């Protein structure tokens, strides 16, 4: 069973990496760019038949390792 996880910085957390990307794109002439924020993306394959159980496991992975819950949010999607 395959899932994707996106980890993004919370709204009020500064995103210096995204800022650099934004400035670079503006310098490249993309003047209608309003904002860009960067996050992490994971594609996870798990050996589990029950979707509910699989989601629980992925959730556990996010909480234990993939996301820093103090400054980041995460979203899990089935692929």
Contact between 30 and its own copies per CB under 8 A? yes
Contact between 48 and its own copies per CB under 8 A? yes
**Residue 62 DSSP code:** I
Phi, then psi, of 35 in degrees rounded to 5: -160, 155
CB distance 52 to 1 below 8 Å: no
Closest CA to 3 of 36, 47, 39, 69: 47
**Residue 73 DSSP code:** E
Contact between 6 and its own copies per CB under 8 A? yes
Choose, by CB under 8 A, the member of 10, 13, 56, 60 that binds its own copies: 60
Nearer to its own copies, 57 or 76 (CB): 57
Kindly list the residues in this chain that would bind its own copies in the complex (CB under 8 A): 4, 6-8, 18, 21, 24-25, 28, 30, 32-48, 57, 60-61, 64-66
């Amino acid at each position: 069973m395959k899932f994707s996880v996106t980890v993004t910085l919370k709204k009020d957390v500064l995103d210096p990496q995204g800022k650099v990307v934004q400035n670079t794109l503006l310098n490249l002439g993309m003047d209608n760019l309003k904002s860009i924020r960067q996050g992490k993306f994971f594609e996870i394959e798990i050996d589990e038949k029950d979707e509910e159980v699989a989601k629980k496991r992925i959730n556990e992975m996010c909480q234990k390792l993939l996301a820093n819950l103090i400054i980041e949010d995460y979203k899990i999607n089935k692929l």
